[in-house]
A = this chain, B = another copy of it.
Amino acid sequence: MSAERMKIGCAGLGRMGKRHALNFLQRTPRAELVAASSPDLTELEWAKEHLAPYGVRLYQNYDEMLQQEGLEAIVVASATAVHAEQAIKAIEADKHVLCEKPLSTNVEVLTRRSPNPSLTLPQKKPHLKVMCGFSRRFDASYRDAYQKMQTGQIGTVSVLRSQTCDKLDPSGFFVAYAQFSGGIFVDCSIHDIDLALWFFGASSKIRSVSAVGNTAVEPDLRKHNDRDNAVGLVEFHDGRIAYFYASRMMAAGQEDSTEIIGTKGKLAVNTQPQQNLVQVYDASGVRKEMPQTYYDRFEYAFVTEANEFTAAVLDDTPLPLELTAAVQAVRIGAALQESMVSGSKIWFDENGNRLQEARL
């Protein structure tokens, strides 16, 4: 292992952008954060204080940052709407890319029907490392579960249940957010869908999706074709079943849990959520506090992600997850969202083509 370090720039300095920037600055020994960009002046003010003193150059314009000499990689942590565009530009500029999920809210952007297909572009530049940041793939508990499944501890995996449930944000922020997020299945369940593709295998072929949702706390979500509670059912051509629950109204905190159910056992990840190892005994009973946000829950997964992406670039080793899975996840998420809104079950053939007529 050489002492050489990967020079990376961070696109976007919002909530997640700040975290990625600091992780690459302070917690990724083999990386060197050399640049950061944001169109937002307040975010740049923050960066002047927290990044610039360590030699990070700041840009208001993403395209200018891409020109910085010596820059080798970009972490795309901007608004979801520009993920795909910025990732494509970075690839065209011959940079390695770590892109926040989802790649896009629109499958078309990602596939051959698009003029700038992000999927085919990486194929033309196989020397580049391009990864979508599904943080759970880097979480120690999910990895332990995956390794246990791989060694056969639970037999053949047949059913997966997974949920991404956010604590209620009473500010109503998520109504405005829904306009651009792609909807609850693309924004939240995308993680659970990715887990299904990981545990079932990336070659799993979707057969049908159906979904329902309601607006228990925020009826205005319907304006953007969204819901605050949603349950989706996905069937694969080999018979495996995945089912998902997403919610934006949890009272206690972030509750992201998964069960992987096999013919010889079950692996449960975080079905007993907890902030830490403290239990409080008081007049109300025995109590554990919960993580309040997904970053509370997955902070170290993001650090691992930064370090492993860096290692893959420097050592030219395979990335821990393939881009095709990220595209497939967006496709499934968008189909679930459509099924929830239309009420119709959606079918696919074994080649992944959507069947236009309902199968009876």
A residues within 8 Å of B by Cβ?
A: 1-3, 25-27, 29, 53-54, 140-141, 144-145, 148, 153-156, 158-159, 161, 208, 210-217, 229, 231, 233, 235, 239-241, 243, 245, 247, 249-253, 255, 261-290, 300, 342-345, 358-360
Contact = CB atoms under 8 A, between A and B. Distances in A.
A281 B271 CA distance: 12
Given A210-B345, A284-B287, A277 B360 contact: no
B233 A261 contact: no
A278 B269 contact: yes
Contacts of A53: 1-3
B208 A212 contact: yes
Contacts of A144: 275-276, 278, 289
Given A148-B280, A274-B286, A233 B251 contact: no
A279 B358 CA distance: 39
Contacts of A278: 141, 144-145, 148, 267-269
B282 A216 contact: no
Contacts of A342: 360
Contacts of A212: 208, 233, 235, 241
A239 B159 CA distance: 26
Given A144-B275, A251-B281, A265-B281, 8 more contacts: A158-B216, A212-B233, A216-B263, A251-B263, A264-B282, A267-B280, A273-B277, A285-B289
Contacts of A214: 158-159, 239-241
B266 A251 contact: yes
Contacts of A290: 281, 285-286
A253 B161 CA distance: 18
A278 B255 CA distance: 14
Q: Which of A264, A284, A289 has the most CB of B within 10 A?
A: A284
B240 A265 contact: no
Contacts of A264: 251, 282
Contacts of A154: 251, 280, 282
Contact of A54 (B3, B210, B284): B3
Contacts of A287: 284-288
B284 A279 contact: no
Contacts of A251: 154-155, 262-266, 281-283
Q: Which of A54, A271, A285 has the most CB of B within 10 A?
A: A285
Contacts of A344: 345, 358, 360
Contacts of A239: 214-216
Contacts of A155: 251
Given A53-B3, A276-B141, A266 B281 contact: yes
Contacts of A233: 210-212, 231, 233, 243
B360 A231 contact: no
A279 B267 contact: yes
A108 B306 CA distance: 48
Nearest to A279: B268
Contacts of A275: 144, 285
A245 B282 CA distance: 19
A212 B29 CA distance: 48
Contacts of A153: 280, 282
Contacts of A268: 278-279, 281
A32 B285 CA distance: 39
Q: Which of A3, A249, A344 has the most CB of B within 10 A?
A: A249
